[in-house]
Amino acid sequence: MYKGKFPTFSHSILVMIILLIGVAGLWAADQTSSNQTPNQMNGNHRHGSATMERTDLILIDSLSLFGPLERPAVAFPHDKHTQVVEKQNKDCLTCHKEDKGKLSLKFKNTEDSNRQDAMAIYHDNCIACHVNIAGKGKESGPVTCGECHQKKINLISVRQPMGLDKSLHYRHVQAQEKKCELCHHEYDAKTKKLFYAKGKESTCRYCHKEKTEEKRISVQSASHLQCISCHRIKLAENLNAGPIHCKGCHSREAQNRIEKIDEVPRMERNQPDTVLIRASVNAESTKIPVERVAPVAFNHKAHENYNDNCRSCHHASLAACTSCHTPVGKKDGQNIRLSQAMHQRDADPSCIGCHTVKQKSSKCAGCHSSIKRDKNSDLSSCKACHLSNPDGMQKPMTKKEAATLAARLIANRPSEMATTVLNEIPEKVVIKKLSDQYKPVELPHRKIITKLLENIKDDKIAGHFHTDPGTVCQGCHHNSPPSKTPPKCGSCHGKSFNTSSTFRSGLMGAYHEQCFRCHAKMGIEKPASRDCTACHLKKRS
């Protein structure tokens, strides 16, 4: 228990109270809970039915730096306090000190030395402020221990993560007149100082992680130190600037209002236009057998346009993928081999993983949700990326030589998607094998194919992988190779369910499963699952 001096009232002993007025809570919350989700922050700490959602909710637990907390952490509404300060014609310096030209994220301090001093700063200043405001007959904050350190609270954080996409980054580049050194820096371990390395700019998140590590502050602390300080300076000079309040960045409404640049110029980072991704020709030195595969000519420039930021692919650094992911794996790449890194379906940074996400769109999901993924189906699309092994593949190449070869291979790819000649496929297909209670179904076969082709005609990914005119047919004819005359459904699915092949539907089940799933994935409302007559005309009794 703190033994210092506190203001007193007749009915209560004034002790621990609300901390931080300003961004100090950001630093405090970062030390042990910066990685918490809004629900984790609130946990079960709700009582009553009037739970309030706040964008600016900060969990104050900075004393945990000195050991276990004696009382629950404090839920602190930051913007609410900022508004009070601004009404008094004061600013952030009311609660924060400047440290090397930037606001300290700590409250009334730049560094915590011990538990007692840190506790005294919070208690003396926060309680004094609340008492002062209450003395003027105005609504004020709590002044007792239990009012701040509550086991149950009626606040929940709805804070949205914030970052720079290509559009917002470009707007900052313009505002700072391309002075990249104002934001980007590296750390020199010898001089123990920050410096600017031109041409090596990368995302803050590569160095600043979710939580503070030793003397390297978290990305949350780093971004608030850098961004808020810059915004304050701009505003003081009556210039356009970004927000300095929590809700200005972290509310969904504010994020939806951020101006988007339609055509963002390419980032100036000396990145390659084309890359030849290949198994290292020096792999033999490891004395581990490496399976040789044809190289992949990768259009780096085109893929920059498909993603909002570089981290979509370069998740750990802006180095080449092969620097961490080698054919045999290495420690820097968590022993994930190159083939794994490029082909994992459940990993967003991988090529196949990213393409799989694209397949979930309503225009593509109708077919791709039905296509069974197995070793053979994957191998059939390998040639879309792994082009024929060019001459000289086995010899070492300079980056320039490899890029030149990649550019040539990309230029030789088909420029248009191969499509089916519509006149060569049936206009209608009559499904009559199961007609009993209902009349045969007339499937508008050509109309369906036309619609599928219309959906993907401008899709470059579809154009790259739909290299065979019959590829689109595989959405329904999912277990047969592309062909103008694919086998009928009944050739695989028997009229009755076969108990010896439990994973293969009977013919009726196959038709209904295929049609309804396609309609659901593509957002087609009709026919409803219970309205049989939408497809089947009922026979007269």
pLDDT band for position 2 (cuts 50, 70, 90): very low
**What is the pLDDT at residue 497?**
80
Q: What is the pLDDT of residue 388?
A: 66
Q: Tens digit of pLDDT for each residue in 311-335?
A: 999 999 999 998 999 888 899 899 9
pLDDT at 29: 39
Q: Which residues are CB-neighbours of 211 under 8 A, at least 6 positions away?
A: 30, 31, 32, 34, 35, 218
Q: In 3-state terms, what secondary structure has residue 286? A: helix
State yes or no: pLDDT of 418 exceeds 50. yes
Q: What angle do CA 535, 538, 541 make, to 5 degrees?
A: 175
Question: Can you give the pLDDT at residue 125?
Answer: 92
* DSSP H or E run through 482: none
pLDDT at 540: 74
Give the pLDDT band (50/70/90) at residue 222.
Answer: very high
Name the nearest CA neighbour of 221 among 232, 236, 207, 234.
Answer: 207
Indicate the fold that domain 24-157 takes in CATH: Cytochrome C3 (3.90.10)
Amino acid 135: pLDDT: 93
Q: Which residues of 264-298 are buried (b: 16+ CB within 10 A; e: fewer)?
A: beeeeeeebebbbbbbeeebeeeeeebeeebbbbb
The CATH code of the domain at 166-256 is: 3.90.10.10
Model pLDDT for residues 64-88, shown as the tens digit of each residue: 889 999 999 999 999 999 999 999 9
According to the model, what pLDDT value does residue 371 have?
Answer: 77
Q: Predicted confidence band at 417 (pLDDT cuts at 50, 70, 90)?
A: confident
Above 70 in pLDDT, residue 307? yes
Q: Which pLDDT does position 289 carry in this prediction? A: 47
Predicted local confidence at residue 379, as pLDDT? 54
* 108 neighbors 97 (Cβ within 8 angstroms): yes
**Greater model confidence, 482 or 20:** 482
Of 135 and 65, the one with more pLDDT: 135
Reported as a pLDDT band with limits 50, 70 and 90, residue 38 is very low
Output 183 or 387, whichever has higher pLDDT: 183
Instruction: Return the H-helix or E-strand segment holding 251.
Output: none
Same CATH topology for 166-256 and 422-534? yes
Mean pLDDT score of the chain: 82
pLDDT tens for each residue of 359-415: 999 999 988 887 766 544 555 578 888 876 655 555 678 889 989 999 998 888 877
Pick the CATH number of 274-411 from 3.40.5.10, 3.40.640.10, 3.90.10.10, 3.20.20.10: 3.90.10.10
pLDDT over 90 (residue 37): no
SS3 119: helix
Classify 422-534 by CATH class: alpha beta
Which residue, among 179, 236, 21, 18, has the nearest Cα to 109 in the 3D structure?
Answer: 21
Confidence category of residue 25, pLDDT binned at 50, 70, 90: very low
Over residues 218-232, the mean pLDDT reads 93
CA atoms within 13 Å, Cβ hemisphere of 138: 11
What pLDDT is recorded for position 525? Answer: 78
What pLDDT score was predicted for residue 95? 92
Measure the CA–CA gap between 400 and 361, rounded to whole angstroms.
Answer: 37
Place of tokens 């706040």: 54
Nearest to 411 by CA among 437, 390, 434: 390
3-state secondary structure of 535: coil
CA 338 to chain centre: 22
Question: What's 423's DSSP letter?
Answer: G
Would you call 10 exposed, middle or buried from its count of C-beta atoms within 10 A (0-12, 13-18, 19+)?
Answer: exposed
pLDDT band at residue 530 using 50, 70 and 90 as cut-offs: low
* Domain boundaries, given as residue ranges, for the chain: 24-157, 166-256, 274-411, 422-534
- Sorted by sequence, the CB contacts under 8 Å of residue 424 that are 6+ apart come out as 484
Per-residue confidence band for 475, with pLDDT thresholds at 50, 70 and 90: confident
pLDDT of residue 393: 59
Give the model confidence (pLDDT) of 340-359 as tens digits: 999 998 898 999 999 999 99
* Residue partners of 432: CB distance under 8 A and separation at least 6: 440, 441
Confidence of residue 293 (pLDDT cuts 50, 70, 90): confident
Long-range residue pairs from 454-457, CB within 8 A, at least 24 positions apart, any chain: 455/363, 455/364, 456/363, 456/364, 456/417, 457/417
Alpha helices in 218-370 (DSSP H): 219-236, 246-250, 252-256, 300-306, 338-343, 351-358, 362-368
pLDDT of residue 416: 74
Q: At 503, is the pLDDT very low, low, confident or very high (cuts 50, 70, 90)?
A: confident
Residue 169 sits at the vertex; the CA angle it makes with 30 and 255, to the nearest 5 degrees, is 65
Q: Which backbone phi and psi does 157 adopt, to 5 degrees? A: -80, 130
DSSP result, 11-76: S---------SSTHHHHHHHHHHTT--HHHHHTT---SS-PEEESSEEEE-GGGGGSS-SSPPEEE
